[in-house]
A and B are shown apart, each in its own frame.
Chain A
Amino acid sequence: MAVDARLLSELGSVLGPGLLSTPAACVAYECDALTAHRHPPDLVALPTSVAQVQQIVRACHRHSVPVVARGSGTGLSGGALPVAGGLLLVLSRLNAILEVDPHRNLARVQPGVTNLAVSEAAAPYGLYYAPDPSSQVACSVGGNVAENSGGVHCLKYGLTVHNVLAVKLVTMAGELLTLGSETGEAPGLNLLAAVIGSEGLLGVVVEVTVRLLPIPRHVELLLAAFDDVGRCAEAVGQVIAAGIIPAGLEMMDAPAIRAAEAFAGCGYPLDAQALLLCEVDGLPADVDDELARARAVLEAAGATSVRVARDAEERSRMWSGRKSAFPAVGRLAPDYYCMDGTIPRRHLAAVLTQIATLSTTYRLDVANVFHAGDGNLHPLILFDAGKDGELERAERFGADILEACVAAGGTVTGEHGVGVEKLGPMCSQFGSAELEAFHALKLAFDPTGLLNPGKAVPTLARCADYGALRVHGGRLPHSNLPRF
């Protein structure tokens, strides 16, 4: 699509070489980590200051050009997928750590700073930033805010929303708003909560103030093996029912265990059908107490072996298998498709059984490696996009898993976001009235609807189509809608 020459010249004078407009330069930004969806942007802006961001969005606002913000492009749901005729606003050069304050326990950073860099900057003061998505080496704090990213320590330390104190937000009109404050509260409505996880639909985050926590004094990691997936899943609830809140409680099934062991040599029991990694942290005496109780619960729950990492080195090796599970599983097939539903923990065993059944139905293998403590599933569907129909089969398999999550009282996305990927499943989770309210809330922040249009919240028309495709038990969702 041809770019308006006046817009091009306006942006050129703001950005100089920070504006990319040739197809050859722009193609690098055609997708985020959901690579099945690609669209080369017409324009890519790489601002280096907040003032530039404001000038860019004002120019796009005047010319009615859509704006899609992007951090590091590690998102798994296509939230940063460029839109036709739009500008891709890449915030990776806004990457300064503005302040680390060890007295107030906070850091103020620009959105392009990577998640891990915050913890690294805080480490000399004995502090760290708790959310730790698996992509933390690369993913940006701005992207974390957009997606409300989690990680393996959410159960105890929360998601991004629990660890962000304030953001500065540029609206589509170019206005700079501050939401929240360094005290963690601000007068008026709690708009910060609405902005976190809003996938770039409400504004462009240009500064983030995060809460830092003292690095735990003591950490222990326990590995429990099970000869039955269901028993392992039941044990998850039993640990929590015993009053233990582990820092991390992760589960892997047999395919994931074998893939991780082959990839990382992490010492996992290859004969196990499932394993749990249970990390406890805190004061040494508290950790010893929790560890002993967790061990007792897991043994009573039928674990075939329970092992505590001897030292930091073994602990890190045991984690390495979990943390490299995605690439490890990736070696089992040319492609994999990662799902992200969350369910009440009591339904873990039943939903895992459903996934196994679907795996047979769709003739595609699946490996499960996930945040069991949060009930956040990550089934990895293995397929070969080179084989006719396999991508479509994998997508249908994935959509069925999400339907099962909704039916179990859960959600279609725990931490990866809706983006373009889960627009259909969103129609199962929400009714028309809620979706209309979401659209209205977007327009309250962005009356022109130019920010990341078409993402995160499906149109009612799309849901009508989706409903026509997926009729369950004779009930047509959104039956009040006209079909077109």
Chain B
Amino acid sequence: MALIETPAGQDITEALVERVRTASSSQKPLRIVGGDTKRFYGRPVAGETLELTGHHGVLRYDPAELVITARGGTLLADIEALLARHGQQLPFEPPSFGPLATLGGTIAAGLAGPARIARGPVRDCVLGTRLLTGDGRVLKFGGEVMKNVAGFDVSRLLAGSLGILGVLLEVSLKVLPVARASRTLRRRVDEQGVIGLLGAVVQHGLPITGSFWSADELYVRLEGSPAGLDEVVPTIGGEILDESAAASLWHGVREQTHPYFASARPLWRLSLPATAAGAALLRADRVAFEWNGGQAWLSGVARQTIDLITRTAGGHATLFRRDDADHGTTGEVFAPLPASMLDLHRTVKRVFDPAGVLNPGRMYADL
């Protein structure tokens, strides 16, 4: 048990601080960019590019600690490969949307893949960060230990913050061992039966680490020991996919290369109470869902229909991918905040980015 030797990488903190200070004093907005693989996500930002790819390298990784610390510009693919060599993984199975995705962008976007139902959202794994604020301060929050209640949990606040509070210079994440075995089942089931089926399976405490339903086909991934899986597979039934077909399916779901997403424009993402997914399914034909109904995808649907669904079912909607025609417009893509919450967002933003130069407008207009 010891720290794993990794290449030194490159530390460009000083240059980044200089750029941010200049931008701050001249009030010129910056667009923070890692691999720019998630440019489509959120609202467009007008600003000079602040490149993070030159700031890379794994700083500390000790598999026995279940913790990895790396610079923000480190390639997600490099981190995943390093973890895999030691039988570990990022718990939240993030999408990369391209080979150049970086760790910083992954945490800032806050997007999780199929395993979120079992292993939690991005913020659950964030243990510590080194942050470059909008006025050029370098602050260190959290750390590399599992339990830490010293100071406000700014590190977890940064998960999903879309760069509006600061530049992620370093991130420490909790990692987990890869399961001993995995089985993916495919079963035909219509929209009437699917939510009930998944609900019953969850109540049973079955180790589901992924579920995807589209076009009357349900895929469920179970993980555990080989003997344990043999025991529970019949509970769900259906056909077991071979290893490569299963890997390709979950990759397609996570990266949105699955045929469902092929022509999905505009693509809406709904975060729903799992039991309410039925309401979403009834109102649209172009629908798919994950997370046992907790995350639904809808395409080719008008904003009014989306609003109606979230009003009746609860949850909230995000315009995940805009129409090509939509590109560059200033329309909101995230669900609107109540006025008091928006005010609070503004004051919190000012704590970290007083001049408002980091990714302005990426999350909401005027934020």
Q: Give A residues with C-beta under 8 Å from B.
A: 102-105, 126, 147-148, 150, 154-155, 158-159, 161-162, 175, 177, 181-191, 193-194, 196-198, 202, 213-217, 234, 237-238, 240-241, 243-245, 282-286, 288-290, 342-346, 371, 374-376, 409-418, 422, 426, 429-431, 433-435, 437-438, 440-442, 444-445, 447, 456-457
Contacts and interface: CB of A to CB of B under 8 A. Distances in A.
B340 A417 contact: no
B148 A342 contact: yes
Nearest to A196: B153
A426 B1 contact: no
A194 B352 contact: no
Contacts of B231: 283-285
A162 B118 CA distance: 12
B157 A193 contact: yes
Given A190-B160, A193-B159, A410-B145, A102 B203 contact: yes
Contact of B348 (A159, A182, A197, A444): A444
Nearest to A188: B337
Interface in B112-152: 120-121, 123-124, 133, 137-141, 143-152
Contacts of B133: 437
B345 interface: yes
B146 A190 contact: no
**A-B residue pairs, 7 tightest by C-beta:** A193-B156, A214-B205, A414-B147, A285-B228, A243-B177, A286-B228, A289-B225
Nearest to A411: B148
Given A214-B203, A375-B146, A410-B143, A237 B1 contact: yes
Contacts, number: 251
Contacts of A289: 180, 225, 227-228
Given A237-B64, A283-B231, A413-B150, A344 B144 contact: yes
8 contacts: A104-B273, A181-B314, A190-B160, A193-B153, A214-B205, A285-B224, A416-B149, A434-B139
B66 interface: yes
Contacts of B351: 437, 440-441, 444
Contacts of A196: 153
A435 to B, nearest CB: 8
Contacts of B272: 183
Most interface-central of A190, A243, A412, A456 (chain B CB within 10 A):
A190
A177 to B, nearest CB: 6
Contacts of A435: 151
Given A282-B228, A285-B225, A343-B145, A188 B341 contact: yes
Contacts of A374: 145-147
A31 to B, nearest CB: 20
Contacts of B318: 187
A32 to B, nearest CB: 15
B313 to A, nearest CB: 10
Contacts of A346: 1-2, 62, 64-65
Contacts of A214: 202-205
Nearest to B66: A240
B252 interface: no
B308 to A, nearest CB: 18
A374 B225 CA distance: 24
Contacts of B141: 434
Contacts of B148: 342, 411, 413-414
B161 interface: yes
A453 to B, nearest CB: 15
Given A346-B64, A413-B149, A187 B334 contact: yes
Contacts of A447: 347
A185 to B, nearest CB: 5
